Structure 1
Amino acid sequence: MDLSCSDQSDHPSRRRALAVATGLAAGALLPPAAATPSAAAPATGPAGAAAASYTNPVIWQDFADLDVIRVGDTYYASASTMHYSPGAPVLRSYDLVNWEIAGHSVPVLDFGAKYDLNGARGYVRGIWASSLAYRPSNRTFYWLGQIDFARTYIYTATAVEGPWNRLTTLSTPYYDAGLLVDTDDTLYVAYGNTTIHVAQLSPDGRTQVRTQQVFTTPSSVGTLEGSRFYKINGQYYIFLTRPANGQYILKSSSGPFGPYTMRQVLLDLPGPIPGGGVPHQGGLVRTQNGAWYYLAFVDAYPGGRVPALAPVSWTSDGWPVVQLVNGAWGTSYPSPAVPPPPRQVTPMTGVDTFDGTTLSPRWEWNHNPDNTKWSAGNGLTLRTATVTDDLYGARNTLTHRIQGPTSTATVQLDHSAMRDGDRAGLALLRDSSAWIGLKRDGGVTRVVMVSGLTMDGNWNTTGTGTDLASAPVSGSRIWLRANADIRPGGPRPGRFSYSTDGITFTRLGPDFSLGNDWRFFMGYRFALFNHATRALGGAVRVTRFELSTP
């Protein structure tokens, strides 16, 4: 099965007007498809009933730089997570439309002290566009990605749920790489920005055998990156994005090292999200019956970069064509024709009571956590892990993606073990943030709405927040609620409220305007936090978290 990786960042050499990442997957190791695949037909939906059509975006959550593959009757996708840990989530689907989070390819960001948020910080570093592949010869999944423009890491697992283990570290940083498992089991990597290279790996995947430049992007096109690497009907393809408004593809009939010819796939194509960007930087994948699809992402800040799916046909001379609806990427298409799913996927919304001792894969920490300062089982206990007045510098902040177009997070919190100086609550977290939560000072606990938490372009804190509203609270339990409207074309308000009985909620503070600048790359997240401003020792217990939609 061929795949590739792609990523985006604000590295100075990338002048991305609205950078977005991608993912790809095709099936070099799957039976060859016909030149023109059959049209998409109704599929069986998650509840077992025939679904005549699907609506874009297929996932209205922040999953960028997607690489997508099929293994048997199951589809998998990988996405960028930057500074969040664990990194590189693996999504799973049986129909390309309904997805769940199955695990993470990178269990911990052990790439340097800055990822521990302990004296340094790794915001907007870490897991960029990366590649997910499956190697049938050893029945193993491979994840490949470069970190900090310095090294490339490869992780492997026999099941996407894990355990994932590091296979090797390569000294060549394969930027925006795509991994291809060729039909003869050889491993190739396509990578680069504007100048595209192909590398061949050793049979065990641990070392580089050779690397060669295979293409230079014409100046008339500009920047191409986000490689996805495929072998389809004996031809080699490198799928490339022009950030953030185009998609191109290279084709070679002479082997993986070229020469390659280029064709435009899309440019300035209207997308399916009002106010959002052009679908791009995604991957190709083939269904069991030979139909092809393109899973791209759409810039949709403040929510992030969200996946959209469109069918693809092929010209008689072997070039992909995205199927449009009235000249645009469709908001709706006929559902893929696939076998009935073996089960319903786990929803990305709903209730979590943290009953198990491990967290579900829907959760990711802001940087690596201090694992001695939290526990799960009969609720989530967050003990203070950092003494700071800066939420951006506090360890053990636990994040959850926001569901679009609007959604609400409601948290039940036991604050009886808070200590003086502690701050705990529920945030709308990004480079401009706000939160509702508790401040305990002088033995008195208040519920507060805080805004004005800000970062500069180097992700250094420029504002630690100002109280905009507060109220006294008593007892040991409180319900905190944050509502986020992440429609990119609208006013983008965030609203906070609280309750002392879990039934009647009281608004607290004014609307918070969610920022929509792209340069932080990741979208807003709901975030649970507890940090000290005076001394460690306090704790809170989250007994229930619910993500709901209207």
Structure 2
Amino acid sequence: MVPSWPHQPLSRRRALTVATGLAAGAALPLGGTAPDASASSAATYTNPVIWQDFADIDVIRVGDTYYASASTMHYSPGAPVLRSYDLVNWEIAGHSVPVLDFGAKYDLNGARGYVRGIWASSLAYRPSNRTFYWLGQIDFAKSYVYTAPAAEGPWSRLTTIGTAYYDAGLLVDTDDTLYVAYGNTTINVAQLSPDGRTQVRTQQVFTTPSSVGTLEGSRFYKINGQYYIFLTRPANGQYILKSSGGPFGPYTMRQVLLDLRGPIPGGGVPHQGGLVQTSSGAWYYLAFVDAYPGGRMPALAPVTWTSDGWPVVQLVNGAWGTTYPSPAVPAPPRPVTPMTGVDTFNSTTLSPRWEWNHNPDNTKWSAGNGLTLRTATVTNDLYWARNTLTHRIQGPTSTATVELDHSAMRDGDRAGLALLRDSSAWIGLKRDGGVTRVARVGGLTMDTNWNTTGTGTELASAPVSGSRIWLRASADIRPGSPRPGTFSYSTDGTNFTRLGPDFTMGNDWRFFMGYRFALFNHATQALGGAVRVTRFELSTP
């Protein structure tokens, strides 16, 4: 992932990159096998396979189960681990980084970590100790390695390494040696100690030709005895390096894709993801599509190999296909957990589909009988408010409905449901002078340095009585226009009243993360108030 692409116009930034990631540590045969388009099952799948924001994907197979990791920036916990049994239907199993304990800014304590934190990183499995590994750099300063016995955790920090492995790809070699490919334009390979705790050596292995420009987004593989580093040219090309002489090269380069049309109308081209082989020998590429305002959506395509060992993404009418035959895989052991539906917060822990905006103050929230959010910050700026809980939006259109008990709010408190990004809007409750109103607020904005430029303006309001209200936000995240977000409320959970004008969601790429639904409760006068969310539902038409 790249912090900015000033040298390329938006039309090119949205174009293409292709990267890869496979069952870490195994020497995998090319096999020359294409996915069987005439398989006995005529079933097909449709791209994007996940219409939610999961970017910079690394994907692996362990047995007959597939796992993927993604960037989460300032959201906590970070680096979600996705799980699938067929590469098409995915669930969130857990998070590799349980808390962003990389400095006070990730606690919204005197500074903020927006568009920092978990960038493109790597997920791998080490068969020798049956352990999952996550590796990534933070703030261009240090790299961190987390491990877990299972994808859902518990994850714990193994080590901190002084070298910042930018856009890292972790390889578990067939002899169990750990290697990391990383860098921007100058590509390096590092070797780690056998325990994975320290760096043994690092060496530059490739310098990008000026005619190509920037290459980054390393994914590192050993396939059929050869080493591959897959690299993204943000965001319209994909290149691949291949070495027959070992992990430190020398490498030869080949362009894989350039300016390829993607499967989401108005969106970009699938890029910066991973390559994975099924147990039957077929290869697939799981990448993401720039599709703001929603974010970056995973898309899947089959891959074949040339006789001399280069991957070829299979296209449909010259483009990344909207549909392909479904992968031939064993019957799944169970259905995956849907990423939409109802949450009543009956457990004392949150479902992994939830992530906080920065680290939460864990003394100010609880779950088990609904979700209780006690005010954790005194501020008039939602971007500074702690304990804002977020949920990815389901595309292309979806609706979030929240049932909220506001009887414990105090004067000055603000609580509700937001469409959250660097330009935000919300519907919620304002309590002032002992009176509670439902309000529609817009004009919450940041500049390109992620400083607040607008704390919000009330655009409409209505009086409310009683202690319970239903709040609803609908989002159309299809790229292009008009990208509307609409807000409504109900006092009985059945009849909803629109409040305020439509909100036009922004589609600039520089914030990287897409819009999210966000539950918030913050004070503007003094702490002590609370709200209780008894039900959250994410639904699609």
Q: TM-score range by the shorter chain?
A: over 0.9
Change in Cα spacing, 1:277 to 1:426, as seen in structure 2 (3 Å) is same
SS at match of 1:255: coil
Q: Percent identity?
A: 90
Q: For 2:223 and 2:18, how far apart are their aligned partners in 1? A: 26
Instruction: Report if the CA contact (8 A) 1:27-1:69 is conserved.
Output: no
Q: For 2:183 and 2:134, how far apart are their aligned partners in 1? A: 17
Q: For 2:502 and 2:19, how far apart are their aligned partners in 1? A: 30
Q: For 2:25 and 2:164, how far apart are their aligned partners in 1? A: 25
SS at match of 2:106: helix
Alpha-carbon distance, 1:398 to partner: 0.1
Change in Cα spacing, 1:29 to 1:20, as seen in structure 2 (3 Å) is closer
Q: For 1:129 and 1:90, how far apart are their aligned partners in 2? A: 13
Q: For 1:291 and 1:359, how far apart are their aligned partners in 2? A: 36
Change in Cα spacing, 1:56 to 1:218, as seen in structure 2 (3 Å) is same
Q: For 2:51 and 2:22, how far apart are their aligned partners in 1? A: 18
Structure 2 match to 1:88: 79
Change in Cα spacing, 1:14 to 1:302, as seen in structure 2 (3 Å) is closer
Q: Give the alignment's TM-score, normalised by structure 1.
A: 0.94
Alpha-carbon distance, 1:489 to partner: 2.4
Instruction: Report if the CA contact (8 A) 1:21-1:297 is conserved.
Output: no
Alpha-carbon distance, 1:309 to partner: 0.3
Alpha-carbon distance, 1:377 to partner: 0.6
1:396-452: CA deviation from partner (whole Å, max 9, x where unpaired): 000000000000000000000000000000000000000000000000000000000
SS at match of 2:273: strand
Change in Cα spacing, 1:272 to 1:349, as seen in structure 2 (3 Å) is same
Instruction: Report if the CA contact (8 A) 2:315-2:321 is conserved.
Output: yes
Instruction: Report if the CA contact (8 A) 1:280-1:296 is conserved.
Output: yes
Instruction: Report if the CA contact (8 A) 2:376-2:527 is conserved.
Output: yes
Instruction: Report if the CA contact (8 A) 2:16-2:235 is conserved.
Output: yes
Q: For 1:500 and 1:479, how far apart are their aligned partners in 2? A: 6
Instruction: Report if the CA contact (8 A) 2:17-2:258 is conserved.
Output: no
Map 1:117-516 → 2, pairs under 5 A? 117-516=108-507
Change in Cα spacing, 1:15 to 1:37, as seen in structure 2 (3 Å) is closer
Instruction: Report if the CA contact (8 A) 2:430-2:439 is conserved.
Output: yes
SS at match of 1:371: coil
Alpha-carbon distance, 1:490 to partner: 3.0
Instruction: Report if the CA contact (8 A) 2:70-2:120 is conserved.
Output: yes
1:80-110: CA deviation from partner (whole Å, max 9, x where unpaired): 0000000000000000000000000000000
SS at match of 1:79: strand
Change in Cα spacing, 1:40 to 1:99, as seen in structure 2 (3 Å) is farther
Q: For 2:102 and 2:151, how far apart are their aligned partners in 1? A: 22
1:458-486: CA deviation from partner (whole Å, max 9, x where unpaired): 10100000000000000000000000000
Q: Give the unaligned 5+ runs of structure 2.
A: 1-7
Q: For 1:335 and 1:186, how far apart are their aligned partners in 2? A: 34
Instruction: Report if the CA contact (8 A) 2:218-2:231 is conserved.
Output: yes
Instruction: Report if the CA contact (8 A) 1:277-1:300 is conserved.
Output: yes
Instruction: Report if the CA contact (8 A) 1:422-1:533 is conserved.
Output: yes
Q: Give the unaligned 5+ runs of structure 1.
A: 1-10, 42-48
Alpha-carbon distance, 1:50 to partner: 5.7
Q: For 1:39 and 1:52, how far apart are their aligned partners in 2? A: 10
Q: For 1:40 and 1:361, how far apart are their aligned partners in 2? A: 37
Alpha-carbon distance, 1:545 to partner: 0.1
Alpha-carbon distance, 1:33 to partner: 3.7
Q: For 1:132 and 1:361, how far apart are their aligned partners in 2? A: 17
Change in Cα spacing, 1:323 to 1:486, as seen in structure 2 (3 Å) is same
Q: For 1:388 and 1:79, how far apart are their aligned partners in 2? A: 31
Alpha-carbon distance, 1:28 to partner: 2.8
1:503-534: CA deviation from partner (whole Å, max 9, x where unpaired): 00000000000000000000000000000000
Change in Cα spacing, 1:545 to 1:19, as seen in structure 2 (3 Å) is farther
Change in Cα spacing, 1:135 to 1:497, as seen in structure 2 (3 Å) is same
Alpha-carbon distance, 1:247 to partner: 1.1
Q: For 1:14 and 1:36, how far apart are their aligned partners in 2? A: 30
SS at match of 1:114: helix
Change in Cα spacing, 1:85 to 1:440, as seen in structure 2 (3 Å) is same
1:44-86: CA deviation from partner (whole Å, max 9, x where unpaired): xxxxx96610000000000000000000000000000000000
Residues matched between the structures, number: 533
Structure 2 match to 1:29: 27
Alpha-carbon distance, 1:131 to partner: 0.1
Change in Cα spacing, 1:36 to 1:343, as seen in structure 2 (3 Å) is closer
1:217-276: CA deviation from partner (whole Å, max 9, x where unpaired): 111111100000000000100011011111111100111010111111111000000000
The list of structure 1 runs, each at least 4 consecutive aligned residues, that deviate by more than 2 angstroms after superposition, is: 11-41
Change in Cα spacing, 1:438 to 1:195, as seen in structure 2 (3 Å) is same
Change in Cα spacing, 1:104 to 1:492, as seen in structure 2 (3 Å) is same
Change in Cα spacing, 1:29 to 1:23, as seen in structure 2 (3 Å) is closer
Instruction: Report if the CA contact (8 A) 1:29-1:181 is conserved.
Output: no
1:320-353: CA deviation from partner (whole Å, max 9, x where unpaired): 0000000000000000000000000000000000
Q: Give the alignment's TM-score, normalised by structure 2.
A: 0.96
Change in Cα spacing, 1:533 to 1:14, as seen in structure 2 (3 Å) is farther
Change in Cα spacing, 1:89 to 1:22, as seen in structure 2 (3 Å) is farther
Mapped pair 1:521 → 2:516: no
Change in Cα spacing, 1:473 to 1:69, as seen in structure 2 (3 Å) is same
Change in Cα spacing, 1:479 to 1:335, as seen in structure 2 (3 Å) is same
Instruction: Report if the CA contact (8 A) 1:413-1:479 is conserved.
Output: yes
